[in-house]
């Protein structure tokens, strides 16, 4: 029986010729990742272990990104705990204020994830690196601790859903709209425990940033991972960012999938997820009159340079609506600097938006844009659960950078085409 792309990567890392869905395997890890919220819990666990030290100081990445620059004393204590651990174990890839970025934008940018890798991260959006043809998945802090100590993790080999992508996006439609469309179609548990494997002749029309956005939100359909085949764009990206050796795995022609869907990119419209689940999707023409108090453009889902360029193209020469706060968060220092050099930051500030240092802040209701009771936000982030961005009676609407920017101008959820 043929294997999926994910199954091939897992088999190779378990030292087995083949695996099948449901098998329990132990795999070697190429990278173990944690942030300032999840790492302190992992460090507490690793300190309890009888085994001393970490498996490989070059294969651990600790990224301070959620509540930094420290929002309060407790967050500062958390970061200090991780910083001390990183110093003690001489962790090569420790990223603090000044070097950090939102982890899932930073790790590919630093060349720490490449095709064929097996990566675990104590952050659910670790599935992002599937865009590069890696198997990467979110775990908890205890798994992170065990991974840092041993360089191994156990997995149940997943079955897969195949998404055959054809065609080309229309103007203002992007990777965010595709993944929201898919989540709306299969539901927030539609891919529970499974791989989401993307394939088809439309992949070539997806930029790397689109692919990162799509793989990033596999978890919002319950997926264990999302994964893309490797093409010229992937190889160009890896050569630009990494000197690590990559391995290309391809799904077998006779690989078995639980379900298969075909999606024509040209048939998609801008898509918005209504509160309080990412599956509550509507196309932009079905949205109606939804007034918003805040627009957030950023996050591990949509804080990359092409996202900022798209938002800036809409905000250029326009003003943010009266009584609306527009918060733009470049995902890494490099993206921030690029945005400064291209004049994008100037465009945002002239439009009346604020531009923040990289942080996960508002996405998870941490800081830097918390909502009051009754307020609404249109955000390029990834979750719109109850209380996600602040008060339990606030609301988050998930959308693309184009829709978030257009909405910032009009003060209600809008299509850029209507400006």
Partner 1 sequence: MKAKGHVFKYKDNVDTDVIIPARYLNSSDPKELATHCMEDIDKDFVKKVNEGDIIVAEKNFGCGSSREHAPIAIKAAGVSCVIAETFARIFYRNAINIGLPIIECKEAAHGIEAGDEVEIDFDSGMIYNRTKGTRFQGQAFPEFMQKIISSGGLINYINS
Q: Which residues bind partner 1 (CB under 8 A)?
A: 37-38, 40-41, 44-46, 48-50, 66-67, 71-72, 74-75, 78, 122-124, 126, 138-143, 145-146, 188-189, 192-193, 219, 222, 224, 277, 364-366, 383, 385-388, 392
Shortest separation between residue 223's beta carbon and partner 1, angstroms: 9
Residue with smaller CB distance to partner 1, 40 or 226: 40
Contact criterion met (CB below 8 Å) for 303 and 102: yes
Query: Nearest distance from residue 12's CB to partner 1, in Å?
Result: 22
Percent of residues in the chain assigned helix, strand, coil, to nearest 5? 35, 20, 45
Indicate the DSSP class of residue 397.
E
The token pair that represents 153 in the structure block:
């993790």
Six token digits for residue 178: 């595709």
Residue whose CB is less far from partner 1, 389 or 402: 389
What minimum distance in Å lies between the beta carbon of 415 and partner 1?
A: 28
Please say which residue, 273 or 407, places its beta carbon nearer to partner 1.
273
Task: Of 208, 23, 205, give the one whose Cα is nearest residue 115.
Answer: 208
Strand segments, DSSP code E, in 203-254 are 225-227
Instruction: Output the smallest distance, CB 147 to partner 1, in A.
Output: 12
The region that residue 307 occupies, defined by phi over 0 for left and psi between -120 and 50 for alpha, beta otherwise, is: alpha
**How far from the centroid of its chain's Cα atoms is residue 407's Cα?**
22
Q: In which element (H, E) is residue 144 found?
A: helix 141-150
Closest approach, Cβ 123 to partner 1, in A, equals: 6
Our CB check for partner 1 shows the closer of 273 and 414 to be: 273
* Nearest C-alpha neighbor of 330 from the set 359, 303, 295: 303
CB of 396 to partner 1, least distance (A): 11
Q: Which is nearer to partner 1, 225 or 333 (CB)?
A: 225
* CB nearer to partner 1: pick between 219 and 305: 219
């Amino acid at each position: 029986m043929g294997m999926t792309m994910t199954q091939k990567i897992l088999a190779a890392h378990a030292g087995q010729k083949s695996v099948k869905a449901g098998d329990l395997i132990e795999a070697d890890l190429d990278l173990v990742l944690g942030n300032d919220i999840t790492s302190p819990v992992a460090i507490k666990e690793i300190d309890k272990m009888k085994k001393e030290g970490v498996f490989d100081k070059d294969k651990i990445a600790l990224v301070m990104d959620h509540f930094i620059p420290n929002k309060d004393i407790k967050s500062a204590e958390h970061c200090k705990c991780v910083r001390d651990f990183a110093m003690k174990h001489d962790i090569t890839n420790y990223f603090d204020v000044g070097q950090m970025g939102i982890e899932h934008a930073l790790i590919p940018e630093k060349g720490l994830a490449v095709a064929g890798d097996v990566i675990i991260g104590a952050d659910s959006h670790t599935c992002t690196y599937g865009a590069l043809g890696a198997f990467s998945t979110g775990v908890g802090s205890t798994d992170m601790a065990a991974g840092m100590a041993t360089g191994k993790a156990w997995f149940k080999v997943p079955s897969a859903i195949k998404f055959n992508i054809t065609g080309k996006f229309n103007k203002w439609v992007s990777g965010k709209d595709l993944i929201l469309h898919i989540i709306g179609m299969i539901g927030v548990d539609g891919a529970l425990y499974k791989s989401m494997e993307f394939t088809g002749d439309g992949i070539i029309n997806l930029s790397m940033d689109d692919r990162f956005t799509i793989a990033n939100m596999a978890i919002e359909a319950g997926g264990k991972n999302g994964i893309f085949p490797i093409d010229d764009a992937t190889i160009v990206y890896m050569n630009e960012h990494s000197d690590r050796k990559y391995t290309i795995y391809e799904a077998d022609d006779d690989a078995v999938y639980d379900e298969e869907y075909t999606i024509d990119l040209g048939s998609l419209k801008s898509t918005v997820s209504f509160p309080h689940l990412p599956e509550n999707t509507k196309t932009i023409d079905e949205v109606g009159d939804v007034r918003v108090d805040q627009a957030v453009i950023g996050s591990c889902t949509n804080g990359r340079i092409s996202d900022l360029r798209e938002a800036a193209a809409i905000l250029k020469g326009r003003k943010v609506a009266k009584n609306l706060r527009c918060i733009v968060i470049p995902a890494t220092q490099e993206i921030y600097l690029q945005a400064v050099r291209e004049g994008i930051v100037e465009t945002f500030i002239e439009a009346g938006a604020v531009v923040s240092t990289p942080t996960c802040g508002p996405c998870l209701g941490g800081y830097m844009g918390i909502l009051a009771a009754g307020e609404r936000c249109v955000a390029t982030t990834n979750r719109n659960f109850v209380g996600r961005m602040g008060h339990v009676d606030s609301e988050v609407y998930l959308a693309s950078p184009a829709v978030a920017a257009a909405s910032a101008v009009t003060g209600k959820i809008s299509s850029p085409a209507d400006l």
